[in-house]
């Protein structure tokens, strides 16, 4: 079950038109990744601005990916609602359209003590019909403490973690603990992709896999072949573009890059 979490996954972005999901451009984004070496799609992640989407809009995005993705591509549905009921509701819908797992961040807005955060993930995992991937994204919500991550690795319905902290020390400790458990450790940060893969991460959920699916796939291929020089060259090619993307309010710089390579307008929602 956990073996499908290997390789690069493209975190799709949400193009808006008249403050609604631009389905035509969204479908083009999916089709552009089809046929590449990318392992699958992550829908309604942070780069997708899920916080700007209603539950029904999130479900529609999941449905569109399930319809238009190639059969060999996996589908990870982000279910980051901040409460158990809505998160499980998305999980049940995602299951009904053939998703493979859900990605769940820590509850946000309120500051929860460690034991309540842990219980949140346990409650979701106990009730989700799909396996759960922990999502550590401390830039936008509370960090999942490492001790909690290690304990949650023992839950039968928690199959991995996506760590977007860009903290290699934290990543290394998770990899060390995970080697004796049946869980996958993935990075969510394009800036450290080369380093994370070299350290032992089995895959990644990142925006650049949606923007540059062929280049990301080539980096993975080079790593698999032991051609670290070529892999580092691709990583180095990414770096100035990552600086440019990060110079703008997240995720607008990434959307601009995607629009440029697609030749499409990736509209933003009015705030």
C-alpha pair distances (Å), 74 with each of 6, 10, 77, 121, 226: 10, 10, 10, 23, 26
The reply to whether 162 belongs to the active site is yes
226: CB partners within 8 A, 6+ apart: none
| 200, two tokens | 């032992």
List 93, 118, 120, 135, catalytic entry: 135
* Cα–chain center distance at 16: 20
The residues facing 204 across adjacent strands are: 8, 187
Cis peptide before 178 (omega within 30 of 0): no
| 269, two tokens | 């929602």
Within 10 angstroms of residue 115's Cβ, the number of other Cβ atoms is 9
The reply to whether 135 belongs to the active site is yes
Question: How would you class 139 by CB atoms within 10 Å of its CB: exposed for 0-12, middle for 13-18, buried for 19 or more?
Answer: exposed
List 59, 118, 162, 255, catalytic entry: 162
163 φ, ψ (degrees, to nearest 5): -105, 115
* Cα–chain center distance at 79: 11
C-alpha pair distances (Å), 171 with each of 137, 141, 192, 214: 13, 18, 11, 26
Cβ atoms 26, 64 nearer than 8 A = yes
| 149, two tokens | 């991550």
Cis peptide before 251 (omega within 30 of 0): yes
Which residues are marked as active site? 135, 162
């Amino acid at each position: 079950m956990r073996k499908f979490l290997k390789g690069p996954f493209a975190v799709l972005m949400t193009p808006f038109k008249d403050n609604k999901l631009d389905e035509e451009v969204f479908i083009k984004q999916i089709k552009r990744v089809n046929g590449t070496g990318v392992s699958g799609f992550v829908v309604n992640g942070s780069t997708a601005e899920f916080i700007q989407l209603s539950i029904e809009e999130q479900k529609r995005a999941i449905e569109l990916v399930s319809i238009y993705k190639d059969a060999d591509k996996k589908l990870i549905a982000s279910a980051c609602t901040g409460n158990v009921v809505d998160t499980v509701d998305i999980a049940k819908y995602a299951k009904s359209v053939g998703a493979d797992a859900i990605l769940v961040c820590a509850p946000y807005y309120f500051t929860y003590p460690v034991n309540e955060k842990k219980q949140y993930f346990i409650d979701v995992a106990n009730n989700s019909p799909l396996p759960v991937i922990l999502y550590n994204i401390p830039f936008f919500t509370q960090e999942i403490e490492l001790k909690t991550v290690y304990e949650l690795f023992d839950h039968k319905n928690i199959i991995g973690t996506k760590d977007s902290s860009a903290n290699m020390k934290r990543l290394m400790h998770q990899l060390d603990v995970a080697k004796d458990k049946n869980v996958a450790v993935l990075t969510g940060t394009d800036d450290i992709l080369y380093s994370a893969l070299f350290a032992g991460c089995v895959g990644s959920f990142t925006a650049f896999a949606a923007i540059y699916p062929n280049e990301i796939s080539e980096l993975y291929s080079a790593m698999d072949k032991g051609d670290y020089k070529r892999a580092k060259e691709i990583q180095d090619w990414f770096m100035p573009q990552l600086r440019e993307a990060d110079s703008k309010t997240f995720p607008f710089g990434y959307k601009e890059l995607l629009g440029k390579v697609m030749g499409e307008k990736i509209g933003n929602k009015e705030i």
